[in-house]
Amino acid sequence: PGPTGTNPLWKQIGYPGPVGRFETAPKPPLSPLRYTQSTALDCDVVVVGSGAGGGTAAAVLAAAGLDVIVLERGNYYDDQDFGTGELDALTTLYAPGPATSAEGQITLVAGTCLGGGTVVNWSTSLPTPDTIRAEWAETGVPQFAEDEFGDALTAVQQRIGVTDRRSPLSARDGILERGARSLGWDVDTLPRNVSDACDAGIECGRCSYGCRLGAKQSATKTWLADAAEHGARLVVDADVRAITVKAGRAETVSAVTSTGAEVTVRAKAVVVAAGAIQTPALLRRSGLRNKNIGQHLRLHPAAAVFGAFDDEVRPWEGALQGRISRHHADLDGNGYGVIYETGPIHP
């Protein structure tokens, strides 16, 4: 893991701290484009956003033979770029802000880098529950409750390597498991999208700041790699500001780089996958006035409970989440409730 950090408190509690470059990490697999001068591009489909939605769309469309361009507001970071500390990661890999709800009770965290939230998100990989699929289907999209969506979930799980065979018990999860079983609650192994390279130890507990082992199967490791292999052009440092729509058809996407260069992309179709916050903002900036845009945001709130224990826990080590209890997952008979998991804690 590298040398112990220089902070005396870190040394006292055994926290490794920033460790610099990870020289044994695999070489970055992608070669995204970056424009320093105003540029005009043409393609079949332009995808705004490179995270879980945009990355998947780009891969599927490029594999179908379409000329695809992906525009990402952030920059490209990979294995060798990670591990330099929490502050560096929070200011480079995450969206600035962070945004909060009006009353300040909920903080919205999002990734802003090639691969989006999949680069910094924990490896927890839970399929959409049947009760939620049924609820979505009732809103007028019956595919959510049918094989079409089920087959899509299976395809995603296979491509990002979801497995329950790489979730060893950490000290944190051991506490959750013992407590739940003592209460007679169910506890299950939590599936994660990681490869055999995952150490489920020090590095795993830090991978919300980027996986230095290249084990987390993020969009950069999977969908974006597939897209690039089929000829898709990945463009970073391209903050999309507007989409030009004429006669009901999206024709042009306009972006600006951090240095002020303008990037204009003309396309036959546009996929907007900029996240639940930025997608409706972009559509509204572009003049779309459908009454539903930005009006139906639903959030998955998380609350933390902390405890002091006689035994050493070292909460920054181990799988980010390796166990789950669904004992109170359905409190209202409609699939809404609480699930119990642990998470890494850093000084």
Whole-structure pTM value:
0.91
Give one word for 104, left, alpha or beta, with left for phi > 0 and alpha for psi -120 to 50.
left
Task: Please state, in angstroms and rounded to a whole number, the distance separating the CA atoms of residues 99 and 172.
Answer: 29
Encoded tokens for 68: 């695809």
Q: With contact defined as beta carbons under 8 Å apart, do 91 and 112 qualify? A: no
**For position 3, what pLDDT does the model report?**
38
Dihedral, 62, 67, 68, 69 alpha carbons, nearest 10: 150
pLDDT over threshold 80, residue 260 = yes
Mean pLDDT value of segment 268-297: 94
How does pLDDT run across 10-41, given as a tens digit for each residue?
566 666 666 544 455 555 689 999 999 999 99
The dihedral built from the CA positions of residue 321, 77, 82 and 276, taken in this order, carries a sign that is: negative
How does pLDDT run across 232-249, given as a tens digit for each residue?
999 999 999 999 999 989
How does pLDDT run across 197-245, given as a tens digit for each residue?
998 888 888 889 999 999 999 999 999 999 999 999 999 999 999 999 9
The pLDDT confidence band at residue 107, using thresholds 50, 70 and 90, is confident
pLDDT over threshold 90, residue 283 = yes
Would you call 159 helix, strand, or coil by DSSP? helix
pLDDT over threshold 80, residue 176 = yes
**For position 100, what pLDDT does the model report?**
84
The reply to whether CATH 3.50.50.60 applies to domain 30-167+193-289 is: yes
How does pLDDT run across 126-174, given as a tens digit for each residue?
999 999 999 999 999 999 999 999 999 999 999 999 999 999 999 999 9
Please, which residues bridge with residue 263 across strands?
A: 39, 255
Longest dimension (CA), the chain: 67
Dihedral, 332, 333, 334, 338 alpha carbons, nearest 10: 50
**For position 11, what pLDDT does the model report?**
60
**For position 152, what pLDDT does the model report?**
95
The closest of 291, 257, 303, 294 to 272, measured between CA atoms, is 294
All structural domains of the chain with their residue ranges = 30-167+193-289
The pLDDT confidence band at residue 270, using thresholds 50, 70 and 90, is very high
Percent of the chain with pLDDT over 70: 92
**For position 202, what pLDDT does the model report?**
85
Q: Report the chain's mean pLDDT, rounded to a whole number.
A: 91
The pLDDT confidence band at residue 2, using thresholds 50, 70 and 90, is very low
Q: With contact defined as beta carbons under 8 Å apart, do 60 and 226 qualify? A: no
Number of H helices, E strands in the chain: 10, 13
Mean pLDDT value of segment 306-318: 91
pLDDT over threshold 80, residue 4 = no
Q: Which H, E and C letters describe 68-131, residue by residue? A: EEEECCCECCCHHHCCCCHHHHHHHCECCCCEECCCCCCEECCECECCCHHHHCCCECCCCCHH
**For position 106, what pLDDT does the model report?**
86
**For position 218, what pLDDT does the model report?**
96
The pLDDT confidence band at residue 5, using thresholds 50, 70 and 90, is very low
